[in-house]
Structure 1
Amino acid sequence: MPAAGEILRQRLDLLVEGITALRHDGRFHEPNLDGTAGDYISFDAWEWPQGVGLYGLVRLWQFTGDPAIRRTVEDWYERQIARGLPLLNINTSAPMLALSVLWNETRDPRWALVLDRWADRLVAEAPRTFGGGFQHDVSDKINDHELWDDTLFMAALFLASYGNASGRAELVEEAEKQFLVHAHYLADRETGLWFHGWTFDGAHNFAEARWARGNAWITVGILDLMELAEITPSVRDFLLAILESQVETLLRLQAPSGAWRTLLDDETSYEEISATAGFSYGLLKASRLGIGPEGCREAGLKALAAVMDSIDANGTVANVSYGTRMGHDLQFYRDIPIRPTGYGQALAMLCLVEGLRHVPGLEAVA
């Protein structure tokens, strides 16, 4: 029987094959979701699912040093930039995160100007809400006066990463501000979980949905913010306290299968694997760093097993909910369909790479 580490590496190879092979074949059409079905499913498009997917690939490359993964990522950016970049919004900023991490490692001059210009435009041009938060505008919809928890992963992490890599402290400060503003309006004081969104039109949290993948963006985002940039100590302490409150509740809400439900506190909603992968990554990483309450590692490993069970023979991650607009009632979230997506692949990659660090006796290869 193969060792646990070898099984994890085999699954990672499948995930890479699965994400790069994703193509929209016409089966899926959800006109009420931002972007087109092709944008969400095909690897060959510039949108937020591909941005998260590329981040997973770059993190995997950092861990393994595999030159084939680096070539895949660089070829993708070269091809997309030659086509011309899309209009700037929160979601189209997502691919810049992986590019900034790549550039920090390689200092390839092909990417510096692209990153610099996008960062400048994001800070100067992105519409803002009261308090200076980035308004969550997407490729086909202006969401006036709205904050979404997705924004921090899709845009703020890029500013922190590139700001730190380029020595532009003002970009890191902007990222810190975004985390603080969003935490003020979205972190639920009662449970420690995060609401999906907030609107200043009426001053409410929409359906008060404690949506799993949105919470996973926070778990991953806070921990990776600390890794990607030098964060002001007071901001760091505040965000880690917010994270610990969230994690304490997540530990109580984990299903017997190891997964979490798409509405975290609603047992009538389905178990969802992209969020489960994000939580597994975050819990295992928190345990490794000595952050968070007891039980993080055990829960993270249980979730890791659930993620691995959801990877099929073609390397496609199953039980991933499709792109999710802001819901005005909880039934909206229960009805989001299951689809193969780049972010499902990427979050699973992050989860399995962190899992390799927790297999007894296994040495990191990089």
Structure 2
Amino acid sequence: MLDVSHSIPVDVAAATVQRPFDLSVETTRRLGQFGLQVPDFLTGYFRSWTPYRPYWNYEDGVIWKGALDLYLVTRDPALLDYVLQEMESRILPDGSMPTFLPREYNIDHVNGGKILFPLYAITGDERFRKAMDVQFAQLKDHPRTKSGNYWHKQIYPHQVWLDGLFMAQPFQASYARITGNEVLFADTVAQFSSVDRLLKKDNGLYFHGWDESRAERWADKQTGLSQNVWGRSMGWWIGALVDVYEASEGFSEHLRDEIARITRDTLTALLTFRSENGLWYQVVDQGDREGNYEEASASAMVAYGLIKAARMGIMGKDVSDTGIASLHAVCDRFVTPGALNGICGVAGLGNVPYRDGSYEYYLSEKITPNDPKGVGALMWALSEGVRVREPQ
């Protein structure tokens, strides 16, 4: 059975305080440009935050990345201290990671490792450098499809989900850079190119998943593809692209150009399906269908991709302006002092109870306030928004 239990408060403003946490006056001012409720919400969220699961997991990693992204633009010590406190029991002085479960061959477990690179750069602490090798060890023998892509999980053999590109590839690109291994970066580019070839729909968006074996009930028997374009999977995909491009600075321009091309094509397609409110739907390309809704985490992730792609020169300033407008729309529509609303708690393919990838399935998943996938994405987008509003 899927374990999606958690202890996220529905209203963080009224939740039990787990830790002291106060943003600086300057950070509060800068985040308040996107709505006065935004810094209040984040303060309450961190005060009431508890780990999503006891082991090294992607949900907590999404929040850690968000906190560090904001720290890098605000230099607010509260954000860095939060992450460092979490690492005290997760990264030991010798670099070992007692809560990391590499032999599960779950690509999600790699996501948290992204924070090791900024932590090492900020602190110079060798335990973070050693932990990179521990994290990468999973990828050395992680099973792959014949197309060369990492399996999504050992329990989902022969499958590639868009989510998995976000979980592993920014870490792999960063590891390639710190070790000077351009062959490893070339492998990352090849995995993106493979997905671009195999999972792309005629309208420029991507199906959520692909089963090379065609064994799953959700997979088309001819193509292996799932049925629909899920909003957050597109968010994971665009987040992976812009993060890999940033991490690959200094490597082959030919390889980086391929990432930039896929990024431009993806964002151009996504802009076609942007709602009149500046947001993106749970099932992205069926916005006019009954029951569909504008979803917070996907919208925040796409806003992040738009603003960051423009900052890195992949796309023009007009795209940044659109991303900023969408970030404002997310904050105005979904953020209150106590909650980030409108988040699809979880969605996937297969498993028990069986998730068939149908339109009805994606609409049936519970909307979960304050889920880390949405809160983390909001922080990524806010970090880019602050950069644009007040360049360093």
TM range (shorter): 0.7 to 0.9
> CA separation in 2, counterparts of 1:217 and 1:341?
15
Structure 1 residue runs without a partner (length 5+): 25-37
1:311 aligns with 2:335: yes
Aligned to 1:27: none
Aligned to 1:235: 255
1:209 aligns with 2:256: no
- After superposition, give the CA deviation of every residue in 1:257-298 in whole Å (9 maximum; x if it has no partner): 221101111123111011101111111222333433784234
> CA separation in 2, counterparts of 1:150 and 1:125?
20
Alignment of 1:66-85 (within 5 A): 66-81=76-91, 84-85=98-99
Partner-residue secondary structure (3-state), 2:341: coil
Partner-residue secondary structure (3-state), 2:90: helix
> CA separation in 1, counterparts of 2:257 and 2:129?
32
Partner-residue secondary structure (3-state), 1:147: strand
> CA separation in 2, counterparts of 1:207 and 1:243?
22
Alignment of 1:146-295 (within 5 A): 146-188=159-201, 190-202=202-214, 204-230=223-249, 231-267=251-287, 268=289, 269-292=292-315, 295=318
> CA separation in 1, counterparts of 2:244 and 2:296?
23
Aligned to 2:142: 126
Partner-residue secondary structure (3-state), 2:314: coil
Partner-residue secondary structure (3-state), 2:135: helix
Aligned to 1:30: none
1:93 aligns with 2:110: yes
For the 8 Å contact 2:70–2:379, the answer to whether it is kept is yes
For the 8 Å contact 2:151–2:159, the answer to whether it is kept is yes
Residue 358 (structure 1) shift: 3.1
Give the direction of change, closer, same or farther, for the CA distance of 1:174–1:122 in structure 2 (3 Å limit): farther
Residue 198 (structure 1) shift: 0.7
Partner-residue secondary structure (3-state), 1:260: coil
- After superposition, give the CA deviation of every residue in 1:95-151 in whole Å (9 maximum; x if it has no partner): 1011223223332112222211221x22322111112210000xxx61111011111
Partner-residue secondary structure (3-state), 1:198: strand
Partner-residue secondary structure (3-state), 1:261: coil
> CA separation in 1, counterparts of 2:311 and 2:182?
28
For the 8 Å contact 2:199–2:225, the answer to whether it is kept is no
Task: Give the alignment partner of residue 58 of structure 1, picking from 55, 68, 77.
Answer: 68
Aligned to 2:18: none
CA RMSD of aligned residues (A): 2.5
Residue 20 (structure 1) shift: 5.6
Partner-residue secondary structure (3-state), 2:277: coil
Point out which structure has higher relative CO (alpha carbons under 8 A, 6+ apart).
Answer: 1
Give the direction of change, closer, same or farther, for the CA distance of 1:9–1:159 in structure 2 (3 Å limit): farther
How does the TM-score come out when normalised to structure 2?
0.79
Give the direction of change, closer, same or farther, for the CA distance of 1:17–1:109 in structure 2 (3 Å limit): farther
For the 8 Å contact 2:143–2:151, the answer to whether it is kept is yes
> CA separation in 1, counterparts of 2:187 and 2:77?
33
How does the TM-score come out when normalised to structure 1?
0.84
Residue 19 (structure 1) shift: 4.6
Residue 187 (structure 1) shift: 2.6
Partner-residue secondary structure (3-state), 2:147: helix
Aligned to 1:329: 358
Residue 320 (structure 1) shift: 0.8
> CA separation in 2, counterparts of 1:228 and 1:282?
14
Percent identity of equivalent pairs: 27
Task: Give the alignment partner of residue 136 of structure 1, picking from 125, 138, 152.
Answer: 152
For the 8 Å contact 1:251–1:299, the answer to whether it is kept is no
Give the direction of change, closer, same or farther, for the CA distance of 1:201–1:5 in structure 2 (3 Å limit): closer
- After superposition, give the CA deviation of every residue in 1:35-85 in whole Å (9 maximum; x if it has no partner): xxx53xxxx653111111111111111111122211111111222346822
Residue 23 (structure 1) shift: 4.5
Alignment of 1:13-24 (within 5 A): 14-15=41-42, 17-19=44-46, 21-23=48-50
> CA separation in 2, counterparts of 1:329 and 1:206?
12
Aligned to 2:123: 106
Give the direction of change, closer, same or farther, for the CA distance of 1:20–1:345 in structure 2 (3 Å limit): farther
Partner-residue secondary structure (3-state), 1:131: coil
- After superposition, give the CA deviation of every residue in 1:303-358 in whole Å (9 maximum; x if it has no partner): 111221212213x3211111211243221111121113112111101111211233
For the 8 Å contact 1:16–1:57, the answer to whether it is kept is no
Aligned length: 338
Structure 2 residue runs without a partner (length 5+): 1-27, 215-221, 350-355
